[in-house]
Structure 1
Amino acid sequence: MEEQSNRDLDRDTAMADDDQSGRCLDLTSFQLHDLGDIELPESLIELDLTANRLSKLDPRIGLLSHLKKLSLRQNLFDDQGVEAISNWNEISGLQELVLRDNKLTKIPDVSIFKSLLVFDVSFNEIPSLSGLSKVSTTLKELYVSKNEVTKIEELEHLQSLQILELGSNRLRVMENLQTFTNLQELWLGRNRIKAVNLCGLTCIRKLSLQSNRLTSMAGLQDCVALEELYLSHNGIAKMEGLSKLANLRVLDVSSNKLTSIDDIENLTRLEDLWLNDNQIASLEGIDLALSGSREKLTTIYLERNPCATSPSYSVILKEIFPNLEQIDSDILM
């Protein structure tokens, strides 16, 4: 076992030496319980400790004054185990901190990091966003998916935010988003949201509201920059408010209660359209419904609709859309 451990340590050192002259150290999946036998060069810029068995922070990390990226993903850290990080002045220049998939029950105090760009606390047991008010205004990407969060709060100051991931929580209302004027991506899938409210944001390029409790698309009509829209697994009965979304390339409205294809005839950039698992009875009129994207459409899903039971189903689609590359799960030659 000691010989194996020495080989592992030698490999670790080699990885550090080979990667930017010892500036990056990747210790992913070494099943480490501590870093006692690991050398941490003072020149480190990136330290990746993903998929180990760590529960306490090695104080030597706090002395790595050049460190920019620190990943503690998929370990055994609880709140007390990461508490020391809030006092580590030497690494206050950190730009990326990943605490994904641990045992946290609250947002840790990261106010010391004045240049933080990426902060990830997804896959923990956090019930509230309380504490995020202390996060630096420099933040561009925030990931808090797969927790127990019930309210969008303490984010108003993060006006530089470009990506916000709050999927798989317990949110019921879209709120307090109005200051995110630079937000490009908003991921809110697997919550309990009943209505769309983007609080006037018009720069969103990617929006996911999959697996919520929506019954209407109302509220999307002003999001003219949207390129990708994901609304599957809701209770939407009508396609509406889409005609002005001229930049839309991907539209997923699968697994809803749609009976027809509406309001997308003017979408000239649409490439991917997911309509499977709805109640669309016939392909009649589909050429008009998708007239704007006739040349651009490359992927369409309509399986598990009544219209997909016709023997000539695929043939009709190929004739209408000459550049199709995929119909349902079938890749076309």
Structure 2
Amino acid sequence: MQNQTEPPPETNSDKDDQAMEFDLSSTTALDLTSFQLHDLDSVELPSSLTELDLTANRLSKLDPRIANLINLRKLSFRQNLIDDAAIESISSWGSLSGLEELVLRDNKLTKVPDVSLFKKLLVFDVSFNEITSLHGMSKVSSTLKELYVSKNEVTKMEEIDHLHELQILELGSNRLRVMENLQNFTKLEELWLGRNRIKAINLCGLKYIKKISLQSNRLTSMIGLEECVALEELYLSHNGILKMEGLSTLVNLRVLDVSSNKLTSVNDIQNLTRLEDLWLNDNQIESLESVAEAVSGSREKLTTVYLENNPCENGVPEACPKSGMVMETRLI
């Protein structure tokens, strides 16, 4: 047994330092999330970096060294203190020609920054800022696949119709009144427009879209969804919808949320054989029999119907149409 009182073997500090330097210089991903940094003066930025995450710091300016990271593919400034003046320098970062993901979420921006140099951009996130207009989006590369502009003050859907490759569009929690300029989004799969002021559905025939959220708007009708035949998830809660209609063609629908509306009956879903979750709570539905009849075609897949806060909820236990399906009066 080795004598435990012996000193540890000597180490070559020079070699250790060299090893550390070597490891750092070959680093491809640097995550500095929540380091509370005011600047990057004390941080080494290896030229090998492909991902740099600066989320949740106190940065109010951009370190010019980032402009020299020619291998960078993903860059996040999420949750910092960057304003319009600070972000301006990014418009001259031509060396980052391969950048694919730029996250500026939760800063102090009031306008869309100029990112026209990033010709390979796939993901662009400026959510949770103070942006009032989409002016400047026309300069964003047409390669973009995901655009996030939620929780701003945008009033109009504009300067985005060139984004033919777009798959996800997030404009929730803005001040939009009209759905427009969507006709070119033939590859769009997800559209998130909750918490706006939209009064009518206009989807311009988006046949490949899979998820739509129009929660907390000013809708009174469902008309306008008929051509979205690939739709799998539809969220329409917290509106003023009076009637379930225009749903019979949506045969791929798995989730339908029409809670917190003004519905008095359940209609037009008999063809939805793939339906799994149906949210009907907080409406004015009186007849459980009509609910059971409406979901008769969905019994193979349907697992839960939420009916809390409807006049019919008291009779739920007796109306359960099959043992595998739960007609639940409470949200779970």
Residue in 2 that maps onto 1:316: 319
Give the 5 Å matches for 1:139-218.
139-218=144-223
Residue in 1 that maps onto 2:34: 29
Alpha-carbon distance in structure 1 between the residues aligned to 2:138 and 2:55: 27
Q: Structure 2: 5+ residue runs without aligned partners?
A: 1-19
Residue 312 of structure 2 aligns to a residue whose secondary structure is helix
Q: Please report the TM-score for the alignment, with normalisation by the length of structure 1.
A: 0.90
Residue in 2 that maps onto 1:119: 124
CA deviation vs aligned residue, 1:42-68 (integer Å, no higher than 9, x gap): 100000000000010001111100000
CA deviation vs aligned residue, 1:175-232 (integer Å, no higher than 9, x gap): 1111111111111100000000111222111011100000000111111111000000
Q: Structure 1: 5+ residue runs without aligned partners?
A: 1-13
Shift of 1:315: 4.6
Q: Tell me whether 1:251 sits opposite 2:252 in the alignment.
A: no
Tell me the amino acid that sits aligned with residue 192 of structure 1: R
Residue 125 of structure 1 aligns to a residue whose secondary structure is coil
Residue 184 of structure 2 aligns to a residue whose secondary structure is coil
My pick for the range that moved more, 194-203 or 60-69, is 194-203
Alpha-carbon distance in structure 1 between the residues aligned to 2:52 and 2:318: 54
Shift of 1:287: 2.3
Residue in 1 that maps onto 2:5: none
Equivalent residue for 2:279, pick from 274, 299, 304:
274
Residue in 2 that maps onto 1:57: 62
Residue in 1 that maps onto 2:17: none
CA deviation vs aligned residue, 1:164-184 (integer Å, no higher than 9, x gap): 000000000011111111111
Alpha-carbon distance in structure 1 between the residues aligned to 2:313 and 2:326: 17
Residue 306 of structure 1 aligns to a residue whose secondary structure is coil
Tell me the amino acid that sits aligned with residue 159 of structure 2: E
Shift of 1:308: 1.0
Residue 246 of structure 2 aligns to a residue whose secondary structure is coil
Shift of 1:128: 0.3
CA contact (8 A) 2:84 2:109 kept: yes
Alpha-carbon distance in structure 2 between the residues aligned to 1:259 and 1:125: 39
Residue 180 of structure 2 aligns to a residue whose secondary structure is coil
CA deviation vs aligned residue, 1:124-163 (integer Å, no higher than 9, x gap): 0000000000000100000001111000000111000000
Q: Please report the TM-score for the alignment, with normalisation by the length of structure 2.
A: 0.91
Residue in 2 that maps onto 1:106: 111
- The verdict on how the C-alpha distance between 1:328 and 1:44 changes in structure 2, with shifts beyond 3 A counting, is farther
CA deviation vs aligned residue, 1:290-330 (integer Å, no higher than 9, x gap): 011112111221101111123xx23522xx14323683547
Q: Tell me whether 1:305 sits opposite 2:310 in the alignment.
A: yes
Residue 133 of structure 1 aligns to a residue whose secondary structure is helix
Residue 119 of structure 1 aligns to a residue whose secondary structure is strand
The structure number with the bigger radius of gyration is 2
Alpha-carbon distance in structure 1 between the residues aligned to 2:322 and 2:148: 38
Residue 254 of structure 1 aligns to a residue whose secondary structure is coil
Residue 160 of structure 2 aligns to a residue whose secondary structure is coil
Alpha-carbon distance in structure 2 between the residues aligned to 1:116 and 1:213: 34
Alpha-carbon RMSD: 1.9
- The verdict on how the C-alpha distance between 1:330 and 1:210 changes in structure 2, with shifts beyond 3 A counting, is closer
